[in-house]
Amino acid sequence: MRIGILSFAHLHAEGYQAHLKNMPGVELVGFSHENAEEAKHFAHEYGLKCFPRHQDLLAEGLDGVIVCSENARHLELVELAAQAGCHILCEKPIETDLADALAMQAACEANGVRFMTAFPMRFAPSVQAVRRAIQEGRLGRVLGVNGVNHSEIPRAHRAWFAERELAGGGAAMDHIVHLADLLRWYFDAEITGVYAELDNLFYPGEVDVDTAGLLLVSLSNGVQASIDCSWSRPTWYPRWGHLKMEVVGEGGAVVLDAFAQHLTLYARHGPRPVSWVGFGSDPNRAMLEEFIASIRERRQPSVTWNDGFQALRVALAAYESSKSRSVVAL
Amino acid sequence: MRVGIVGSGVMAEVHAAGWRSTGAELVGCTSAHLEQAARLAERFGFEVYPSYGELLKAVDIVDICVPTHLHKAMVLQAAGAGKHVICEKPIALSVRDGQEMIEACERAGVRFFVAMVVRFFPQYRLARELVTKGQIGKLGVMRLKRVSYPPQKSDDNWYFDEARSGGMVVDLMIHDFDYARWLGGEVERVFARLSRSADGVGRYAQVILRFKSGPMALIEGGWAYPPGVFRTALDLAGTDGLIEWSSDEHGPVRSFVLHRPGEAASVGLPVAGLAEDPYALELQHAYRCIQTGAPFEVSAQDGLEALRLALAARESIATGKPVSL
């Protein structure tokens, strides 16, 4: 199975390449990246073959690609990959507007390739346990969900995350889709109403995107949930951030802290004064395994284009709600 | 000075214990529940007065620990009798009632303290102190949690009756509305959602506040957990740092005991540290200010403004729309 990575712009590419390199039956052919200087650095750092043009990598005859470009360039790369007959695993959010996201689906259908959205949290055992607790009715009727996906501002890793043109927005575009997807998946329901307060409270004058955001959403099954998507962890927080969800039901509550398994490290010369170093399984690996298995077994991946699309609708509705100061119905 | 407590429930008991640390003379209580009052009187060695009027005659300060819908008439009566008033939160069930109570006490020249106890919890005080010292820069997003279990009452659960308690959003969440306002100042906009159980009781709410000066807050409140579980947390994120605290974190002492069903206190109260009981600190402060004439750290007006936020949240819940203040 021959796999390539289209663009190294998204920092997750670094994690993906490490997993793909030691996955049985998988050959990581290389990556494409347009910025020559960065490309050289990544090629050297990870010992990978680098293709300056995406078409050159696709000409290698690949079975699947992982699209890790800036959000606003996903459509361009998905179209190229689809035309080359490659199945696609695409970073989230799948695009920055709905028309582009729909065009991606059309390109995949026209070329008979399958599209998987990169929602790794669905593959975390802790998250799966929460879903089981809900679906087996162990919490009774659910009263609400308190969701948090906090991080530091990711610009130190990749500047484009905080650039409107390339990212499509800031913290809201970056984080809402993860929790929106988990809510949809937990309850097999759609998000039908969104109220959001979004603003640039943490880096005014430094970036021109939203860095703080709070949402209250309602689901088609009547459940209410809050989402905090803020880049509110300081850059000296012990870790990039966290993902937490508390599901409160009439029969009990379940509290998820998806990255709770960690050692606390105090290193004099570390990048942070105190850091939380995670241990246990990496959900990214299980996600990549599902992508590979779906290609091998010629079936739809468990996370689809529609999952990415519905989550994107929620993120875009948040921007609309914040602007109009009203509840946006979906 | 002589102090009398009105009520004999959980809060009356907690306050009675707090008053013992103030140096005031706790003379007695009055209550609609005579048996309960007799037990309290025996434990604290004071008298049971047959009526509120009789108690008022015997004291300098009255401490009102009864259901919220009774607050207004009792405060007005105490002011009329020229007695200082300590009153449990929420101050009242409507802004107009609260205003009347404040004005009546001002006119009568008596002090009026609304027991916003969270301002006396050491972790909440320290967090605010760090914020006001600029340790986390400009405040951005506040997250405040206060999720407990439904108040347990064998008969007539007034907490579940919004006409008497204001419901969970008013009765429980008022603490964090007050705290958020203490940090963020005046509020511009409120949006809220509430889940109810089949019997109509509001069980779990999420509220977004947007402050005039910029910051935003998510306030989570609930009567939602199994009996005995009470979780509180704060998370204050600013331009230069972050303050995190959660009641889930291990305390200095952890006990591991077998719990039998039905052992939970009838009303959940958050647990503070070992040495300082916030309820005692609150009453010590109020008593000192009444004795010296110094202003209270938390005014009755603050109590009223917190109620205004809670009522705005209820309005948003009812209309499904954000409410501008």
The CATH number for B147's domain is: 3.30.360.10
With beta carbons less than 8 A apart as the criterion, state whether A251 and A138 touch.
yes
Q: Do B237 and A233 touch (CB under 8 A)?
A: yes
Lowest mean pLDDT among A292-301, B276-285, B307-316: B276-285
Q: Find chain B residues with C-beta within 8 A of A203's C-beta.
A: 239
Task: Check whether B249 has a pLDDT greater than 80.
Answer: no
Closest CA to A35 of A153, A154, A160: A160
What pLDDT does residue A275 have?
85
Tell me what pLDDT residue B276 has. Answer: 75
pLDDT band at A92; cut points 50, 70, 90: very high
| B240 & B132 share domain | yes
| Residue B105 Cα, gap to closest chain A Cα (Å) | 39
Residue whose C-alpha is closest to residue A175's, from A144, A196, A206: A196
Q: Which stretch of B27-31, B258-262, B292-296 has the lowest confidence by average pLDDT?
A: B258-262
Look at residue B21 and give its three-state secondary structure: coil
Enumerate the residues of chain A whose CB falls inside 8 A of the CB of residue B217: 214
Cross-chain Cβ contact B239/A202 below 8 Å: yes
Give the model confidence (pLDDT) of A279-311 as tens digits.
Answer: 877 899 999 999 999 999 999 999 999 999 999
Q: A327 vs B192: CB contact, 8 Å cut-off?
A: no
CATH of the domain at B26: 3.40.50.720
**Averaged pLDDT, A88-115:** 98
- Do the bridges between strand B216-223 and strand B139-148 make them parallel or antiparallel, or are there none, so unpaired? parallel
Determine the residue type at A75: L
What the block records as the tokens of A20 is: 């793909």
CB contact under 8 A, B216 and A197: yes
pLDDT band at A263 (very low <50, low <70, confident <90, very high): confident
Alpha helices in A204-304 (DSSP H): 283-296
Confirm whether B281 is domain-assigned: no
Q: A290, A72, A283, A63: which is closest to A178 by C-alpha?
A: A283
Could you tell me the residue ranges of all domains in chain A?
Answer: 2-113, 121-282+304-329
More confident residue, B269 or B247: B247
pLDDT in the model for residue B248: 86
What is the average pLDDT score of chain B? Answer: 93
Overall domain count for chain B: 2
Q: How many CA atoms lie within 13 Å of B173's alpha carbon, on the beta-carbon side? A: 36
Average pLDDT over residues B82-94: 98
A330 and A313 in contact (C-beta within 8 Å)?
yes
* Closest to A33 (Cα-Cα) out of A58, A3, A8, A16: A8
CB atoms within 10 A of CB A41: 14
Topology alike, domains A2-113 and A121-282+304-329: no
Are the C-beta atoms of A93 and A309 separated by less than 8 Å?
no
- B128/B101 same-domain check: no
pLDDT digits (tens, 9 = 90+) for B111-153: 999 999 999 998 899 899 989 998 889 999 999 999 999 999 8
User: Quick check: A78 and A67 in contact, CB under 8 A?
Assistant: yes
B125-157: string of b/e by CB count within 10 Å (b at 16+)? bebbeebeeeebeebbbbbbbbbbbbbeeeeee
Q: Which of A141, A223, A232 sits opposite B141 (nearest CB)?
A: A232
Sign of CA dihedral A181, A187, A189, A193: negative
β-bridge partners, B86 = B63, B113
Residue B256 has pLDDT above 70, yes or no: no
B195: closest CA of chain A, how far (Å): 5
Q: Cα torsion for B173, A172, A20, A100, to the nearest 10°?
A: 140
Is residue A54 predicted with pLDDT exceeding 80? yes
pLDDT value of residue B277 = 87
pLDDT tens, residue by residue, A182-193: 999 999 999 999
Q: How far apart are CA A195 and CA A296, in angstroms?
A: 41
Domain termination residue (choose one: B88, B115, B142): B115
Contact A197 B138 (CB under 8 A): no
Mean pLDDT, residues A210-226 taken together: 98
State whether ipTM is beyond 0.90. no
Domain extent at residue B315: 118-276+297-324
Q: Which residue of B has its CA nearest to A153?
A: B239
The pair of structure tokens assigned to B236 is 């204050």
Site from A232, A254, A255, A321 to mutate, B interface, most B CB atoms within 10 angstroms:
A232
Q: What percent of chain A has pLDDT over 70?
A: 100
- The percentage of residues in chain A with a pLDDT greater than 90, rounded to a whole number, is 90
User: Across the interface, do A230 and B140 touch by the CB < 8 Å criterion?
Assistant: yes
* CB burial of residue B233 (10 Å; 0-12, 13-18, 19+): middle
Place of tokens 């303050």: B243
Distance CA B6, CA B33 (A): 11
Three-class DSSP category at A2: strand
Structure tokens at A104: 């991606």
Residue B304 phi/psi, 5-degree rounding, is -70, -40
pLDDT for residue B274? 46
**Distance of residue B141 Cα from the nearest chain A Cα, in angstroms:** 7
How many C-beta atoms lie closer than 10 Å to residue A252's C-beta? Answer: 15
Q: What separation in angstroms does the CA of B254 have from each of B209, B248, B258, B275, B280?
A: 35, 11, 13, 15, 23
Tell me, rounded to whole angstroms, the distance of Cα B312 from its chain centroid: 18
For residue A21, give every residue at least 6 positions away whose Cβ sits within 8 Å of its Cβ, in sequence order, or none.
A28
What superfamily would CATH give domain A121-282+304-329? Dihydrodipicolinate Reductase; domain 2 (3.30.360.10)
> How much is the pLDDT for B255?
57
Of A212, A226, A250, the CB nearest to B206: A226
DSSP E strand stretches across chain B:
2-6, 25-30, 47-48, 61-64, 84-88, 112-115, 139-148, 187-196, 202-211, 216-223, 231-238, 241-246, 323-324
My answer on whether B171 and B302 are in the same domain is yes
Same-domain pairing of B163 and B108: no
Question: For residue B111, is it within any domain?
Answer: yes
Boundary residue ending a domain (B76, B95, B115): B115
Assess if CATH 3.40.50.2300 describes domain A2-113: no
- For chain A, the average pLDDT equals 95
The rounded distance, in Å, linking the Cα atoms of A139 and B321 is: 29
Residues of A with CB under 8 A from a CB of B: 141, 143-144, 146, 148, 150, 195, 197, 199, 201-203, 211-212, 214, 216, 218, 223-226, 228, 230, 232-234, 236-237, 248-250, 252-253, 255, 325-327
What pLDDT is attached to residue B252? 62
In chain B, which residues have their Cβ closer than 8 Å to the Cβ of A252? 225-226
Residues B155 and B256 in one domain: yes
Give the distance from CA A297 to its chain's centroid.
24
Neighbouring CB atoms inside 10 A of B269's CB total: 14
The pLDDT of residue A101 is 98
Q: What is the mean pLDDT of residues A264-291?
A: 86
Residues A28-47 have a mean pLDDT of: 95
User: Which chain A residue has its CA at the smallest distance from B239's CA?
Assistant: A202
Closest residue in B to A203 (Cα–Cα): B239
Task: Kindly indicate the confidence band of residue B253, based on its pLDDT and cuts at 50, 70 and 90.
Answer: low
Measured between CA atoms, the residue of chain B closest to residue A253 is B225
Please check whether residue B113 is in contact with residue B138, taking contact to mean a CB–CB distance below 8 angstroms.
Answer: no
Q: Tokens for A141, please give them.
A: 């009727």
Res B250: pLDDT? 67
Rg (CA), chain B: 19
The pLDDT value recorded for residue A277 is 84
Residue pair A85/A108 in contact (Cβ under 8 Å)? The answer is no
H helix and E strand count, chain A: 10, 15
Single residue among B115, B138, B153 that ends a domain in this structure: B115
Amino acid symbol at A278: G
Tell me if B280 sits within 8 A of B17, measured CB to CB. Answer: yes
pLDDT digits (tens, 9 = 90+) for B206-233: 999 999 999 999 999 999 999 989 999 9
